[in-house]
């Protein structure tokens, strides 16, 4: 199939609306051509992952767009950056990288993006309606947007997200097309105990297993009796999108495009059914930990994706006024910080040894001390996946309650299995 651009799109690509708009349109068109998309489609919003500093090249690109007079054409929220602009936590990024990271964040603001700085925009009032086409980046946000909100997005990589935002267009392919959103695989969790499904580490562990088993296929989860809550789905999607190339997950009876198993499958027989066993779950949980000897921990990190207000409340409840001897890095967005500051809750948490990390998180930028043989405990499948490569810390995986008790004790404390 050959890509056909509208006369207006062609005019934009050749510079009629300025150099920045032209560059954005050419990037969208070139990607569409590579993917075999026949046309571009209008989009309603974007969520932009591209403002996180990975090196000077991304800053130079964003500034080129600014110099070219580009502005976003649709609502565009920003994912985390490399700096905590609220000053809650100290980022150890040194000059000149620090300055380049700041310039990058500034450039994206100049392009007209909202200073949301969160990987959970869907909990910060950016919730496109079911069935609308959008262009979202950040793998966990993509999964949530498609699966839980029922809006339609592909997994937009850094730079295509801002190019779509400026052009207001996206390639017509993949998950934008209803026929590509049907499940072909069943991930059956009905053999797992109800106690496990209701436990707070069930969904990140299942997500990690799901991503590895399913890869890039679209699956439907069968055997979930009740809605596990948005925070559980957030944790599940984030873990799945870390271990696999997952963009859309249906849960029969829970997510909007899966009122039933057969609707999710479009009435067809699944190509594959994965019957999840307790043993597979145990194995997946074990694989989230990389630490060999666990006689101590150096830090606890929670909030990947960013903590919701409800998750902060759970943390406060579990701490119950007790101080920690190992810091808990609690990563969240400014939408939650604003709430925490209202009743002096931020101060109360910080006085117990919690380090709030806002606008960013501990695996995307250097915040935790540079330790040789550091050990990080987390309840996040996504942190567990990325911490070893990005921070050098080995990982111990545990539930939120185990993370909190361990931070208080300074060594891993695991709840006795019932």
Partner 1 sequence: MTSRPETLNAHTEVLVPGRAGRGPALVLTAPISFWGGVDARTGRIADVRHPQHGLSIAGTVLFLPGTIGSSSASAVLMELVHAGLAPASLVLHEPDAILLLGLIVAREMNWETPMAVRLPKEDFARFEGQTVAVATEGLISVERT
Which positions touch partner 1 (CB under 8 A)? Answer: 23, 26-27, 30-31, 34-36, 49-50, 52, 54-58, 60-61, 64, 137-139, 142, 154-161, 171, 174, 211, 215-216, 241-245, 287, 290, 363, 385-386, 388-390
CB of 386 to partner 1, least distance (A): 4
The residue (of 30 and 313) whose beta carbon lies closer to partner 1 is: 30
- C-alpha neighbours within 13 Å on the C-beta side of residue 407: 31
H helices of 228-308, in order, are 230-243, 261-264, 278-288
The residue (of 13 and 340) whose beta carbon lies closer to partner 1 is: 13
CB of 131 to partner 1, least distance (A): 22
The residue (of 64 and 345) whose beta carbon lies closer to partner 1 is: 64
CB of 184 to partner 1, least distance (A): 17
The residue (of 150 and 244) whose beta carbon lies closer to partner 1 is: 244
What's the distance, CA 375 to chain centroid? 23
CB of 73 to partner 1, least distance (A): 19
CB of 105 to partner 1, least distance (A): 14
Tell me the backbone φ, ψ of residue 24, rounded to 5 degrees. Answer: -60, -45
User: Do β-strands 169-171 and 40-42 pair in parallel, antiparallel, or remain unpaired?
Assistant: antiparallel
Tell me the backbone φ, ψ of residue 57, rounded to 5 degrees. Answer: -60, -40
CB of 81 to partner 1, least distance (A): 12
Contact predicate 45/134, CB 8 Å: yes
What's the distance, CA 219 to chain centroid? 19
Angle at 327 between CA 324 and CA 330, to 5 degrees: 110
| Distance of alpha carbon 78 from alpha carbon 275, whole angstroms | 38
CB of 137 to partner 1, least distance (A): 4
The residue (of 24 and 221) whose beta carbon lies closer to partner 1 is: 24
| Distance of alpha carbon 93 from alpha carbon 91, whole angstroms | 6
- Please name the helix (run of DSSP H) or strand (run of DSSP E) that holds residue 301, with its range, or none: strand 299-307
Of 81, 253, 231, the closest CA to residue 158 belongs to: 81
The residue (of 4 and 34) whose beta carbon lies closer to partner 1 is: 34
The single residue listed with the structure tokens 């690109």 is 61
The residue (of 241 and 326) whose beta carbon lies closer to partner 1 is: 241
CB of 82 to partner 1, least distance (A): 11
The residue (of 24 and 258) whose beta carbon lies closer to partner 1 is: 24
Expressed in angstroms, the distance from the first to the final Cα of the chain is 57
**Helix (H/G/I), strand (E/B), else coil: 219:** strand
């Amino acid at each position: 199939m050959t890509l056909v651009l509208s006369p207006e799109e062609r005019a934009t690509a050749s510079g009629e609306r300025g150099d920045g708009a032209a560059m954005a349109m050419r990037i969208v068109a070139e990607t569409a051509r590579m993917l075999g998309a026949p046309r571009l489609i209008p989009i309603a919003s974007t969520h932009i992952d591209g403002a996180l500093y990975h090196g000077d090249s991304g800053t130079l690109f964003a500034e080129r767009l600014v110099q070219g007079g580009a502005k976003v054409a649709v609502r565009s929220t920003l994912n985390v950056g490399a700096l905590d602009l609220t000053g809650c936590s100290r980022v150890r990024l040194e000059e000149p990288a620090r300055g380049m990271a700041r310039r990058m964040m500034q450039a994206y603001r100049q392009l007209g993006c909202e200073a949301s700085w969160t990987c959970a925009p869907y909990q910060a009032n950016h919730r496109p309606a079911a069935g609308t086409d959008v262009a979202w980046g950040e793998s966990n946000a993509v999964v949530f947007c498609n699966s839980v909100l029922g809006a339609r997005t592909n997994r937009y990589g850094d730079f295509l997200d801002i190019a779509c935002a400026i052009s207001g267009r996206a390639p017509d392919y993949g998950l934008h097309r209803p026929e590509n959103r049907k499940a072909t695989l069943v991930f059956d969790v009905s053999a797992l105990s109800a106690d496990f499904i209701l436990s707070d580490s069930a969904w990140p562990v299942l997500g990690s297993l799901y991503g590895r088993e399913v890869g890039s296929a679209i699956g439907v989860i069968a055997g979930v009796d009740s809605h596990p809550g948005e925070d559980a789905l957030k944790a599940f999607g984030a873990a799945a999108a870390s271990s696999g190339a997952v963009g859309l997950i249906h849960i029969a009876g829970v997510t909007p495009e899966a009122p039933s198993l057969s609707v999710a499958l479009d009435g067809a027989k699944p190509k594959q059914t994965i019957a999840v066993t307790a043993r597979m779950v145990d194995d997946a949980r074990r694989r989230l930990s990389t630490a060999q000897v666990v006689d101590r921990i150096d830090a606890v990190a929670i909030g990947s994706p960013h903590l919701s207000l409800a998750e902060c409340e759970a943390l406060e409840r579990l701490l119950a006024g007790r101080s920690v001897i190992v810091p808990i890095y609690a990563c969240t967005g400014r939408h939650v910080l604003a709430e925490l500051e209202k009743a002096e809750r931020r101060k109360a948490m910080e006085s117990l040894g919690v380090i709030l990390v806002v606008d960013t998180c501990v695996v995307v930028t250097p915040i935790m001390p540079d330790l040789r043989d550091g050990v990080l405990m987390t309840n996040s499948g996504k942190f567990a996946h990325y911490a070893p490569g990005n921070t050098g810390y080995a990982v111990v995986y545990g539930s939120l309650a185990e993370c909190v008790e361990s931070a208080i004790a300074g060594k891993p404390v695991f709840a006795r299995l019932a």
